[in-house]
C-alpha cells in the first residue's frame, strides 16, 4: 500500500489544482442558470455578460427601444469568481478574499476604486447587492440564516449595520433585494415584500395588491433599479415596478427586452 501512496497524493493534488472555479457570472443568479449572464449596472441600464465582457444597454423611453452603449462595455478582470452590481454605475468583481469595485466615470471609463474594496466575511452563504436611490448601494451577506448589511462610510471603511439584521423566513423558495432596504421573498409562485421600518424592525407588506403573482415557469428575476424588477421567461425580460403611491404593481410592456 505504501508504494501507491505517492500516486494517490499526486492524483489528489491534480484534482484540486484542476478544479474549475466558476467566473464571469452574476453571483445573485447562481441558482437561476437562465439569468446568470444578466445584471443591471444601474442608471437605467442592463448588462449582458458575453465572452469576458459586459455589454451595456440603455433604454430610450421616447422611442420605447433599447440601445447598446458601445462606449460603456466593461472588460471583466480575469481570475474572478463572479460579479454583482451595486447600482449607480458600480460593479463588483468577486475574488477569493475580497470584492473589488469599478465605477463608471463621466467619460464612460470603468475605473477601479480601491477605497471601496470589501473584505469578505470568513463564513457566509450568499452575497446580495442592495441598490439605493441616487447613491451607491449596500452589501448584504447571508450568515446563520440572517442577512447582515454592510455600508461604506464614504471614506475608506465598510461598516456592519448591526441594527438592520434580517432573519430569512422559513419555507420560502427564494429571496432577493428590491433595493432601498426592501427584501422580496418568493413562495408558491408569489412575491411578497418586507421593509425596514423606521423603528428598526422588518415588517411584511400584507396588502394583497402588493403581493405579485409571478408568471408560470418564469426563469429568473433580475433586480433592475430600486422598486423595479425584470422577470425572465422565454428569452423575454418584462419589467415590473412597485408603485407605492397607488399600492400596486405595474408592468411596463414598452420596456420589454428580448434576448437573442
pLDDT of residue 3: 53
Note whether 78 and 93 are within 8 A (CB): no
Note whether 159 and 138 are within 8 A (CB): no
Judge whether 132 lies within some domain: yes
Judge whether 8 lies within some domain: no
d(CA 76, CA 92): 10
Q: Which DSSP string corresponds to 70-96?
A: TT--EEPPTT---EEE-SSSEEEEE-S
Judge whether 4 lies within some domain: no
pLDDT of residue 17: 39
**Beta-carbon-side half-sphere exposure of residue 197 (alpha carbons within 13 Å):** 7
Q: In this structure, what CATH number is given to the domain that contains residue 170?
A: 2.120.10
Judge whether 206 lies within some domain: yes
Note whether 27 and 83 are within 8 A (CB): yes
Closest by Cα among 178, 247, 221, 256 to 39: 221
Judge whether 2 lies within some domain: no
pLDDT of residue 11: 46
pLDDT tens per residue, the chain (260 residues)?
555 444 444 444 444 334 457 899 999 999 999 999 999 999 999 999 999 999 999 999 999 999 999 999 999 999 999 999 999 999 999 999 999 999 999 898 999 999 999 999 999 999 999 999 888 899 999 999 999 999 999 888 999 999 999 999 999 999 999 999 999 999 999 999 999 999 999 999 999 999 999 999 999 999 999 999 999 999 999 999 999 999 999 999 999 999 97
Judge whether 6 lies within some domain: no
**Alpha carbon separation from 234 to 18, 134, 244 (Å, rounded):** 35, 32, 29
- Would you say the pTM of this structure is higher than 0.75? yes
pLDDT of residue 176: 97
Q: What angle do CA 86, 39, 149 make, to 5 degrees?
A: 30
Assign 3-state DSSP to the chain and report helix, strand, coil percentages, each to 5.
10, 50, 35
Mention every residue, 6+ apart, whose C-beta is less than 8 A from residue 148. Answer: 121, 140, 141, 142, 160, 161, 165
Count: domains in the chain: 1
Give the domain range for residue 152.
Answer: 21-258
Judge whether 220 lies within some domain: yes
Judge whether 14 lies within some domain: no
d(CA 170, CA 109): 43
10 Å CB burial of residue 162 (0-12, 13-18, 19+) is exposed
Amino acid at each position: 500500500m505504501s508504494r501507491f501512496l505517492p500516486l494517490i497524493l499526486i492524483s489528489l493534488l491534480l484534482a484540486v489544482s484542476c478544479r474549475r472555479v466558476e467566473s464571469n457570472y452574476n453571483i445573485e443568479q447562481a441558482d437561476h442558470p437562465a439569468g446568470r449572464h444578466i445584471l443591471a449596472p444601474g442608471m437605467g441600464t442592463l448588462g449582458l455578460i458575453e465572452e469576458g465582457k459586459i455589454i451595456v444597454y440603455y433604454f430610450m423611453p421616447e422611442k420605447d427601444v433599447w440601445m447598446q452603449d458601445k462606449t460603456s462595455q466593461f472588460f471583466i478582470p480575469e481570475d474572478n469568481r463572479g460579479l454583482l452590481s451595486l447600482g449607480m454605475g458600480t460593479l463588483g468583481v468577486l475574488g477569493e478574499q475580497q470584492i473589488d469595485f469599478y465605477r463608471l466615470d463621466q467619460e464612460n471609463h470603468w475605473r477601479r476604486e480601491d477605497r471601496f474594496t470589501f473584505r469578505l466575511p470568513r463564513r457566509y452563504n450568499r452575497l446580495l447587492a442592495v441598490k439605493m436611490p441616487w447613491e451607491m448601494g449596500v452589501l448584504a451577506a447571508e450568515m446563520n440564516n440572517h442577512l447582515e448589511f454592510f455600508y461604506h462610510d464614504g471614506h475608506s471603511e465598510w461598516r456592519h449595520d448591526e441594527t438592520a439584521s434580517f432573519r430569512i423566513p422559513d419555507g420560502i423558495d427564494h429571496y432577493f433585494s428590491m433595493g432601498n432596504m426592501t427584501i422580496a421573498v418568493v413562495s408558491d409562485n408569489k412575491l411578497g415584500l418586507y421593509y425596514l421600518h423606521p423603528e428598526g424592525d422588518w415588517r411584511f407588506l400584507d396588502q394583497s395588491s402588493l403581493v405579485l403573482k409571478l408568471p408560470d415557469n418564469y426563469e429568473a428575476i433580475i433586480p433592475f433599479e430600486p422598486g423595479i424588477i425584470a422577470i425572465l421567461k422565454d428569452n423575454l425580460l418584462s419589467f415590473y415596478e412597485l408603485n407605492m403611491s397607488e399600492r400596486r404593481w405595474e408592468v411596463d410592456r414598452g420596456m420589454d427586452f428580448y434576448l437573442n
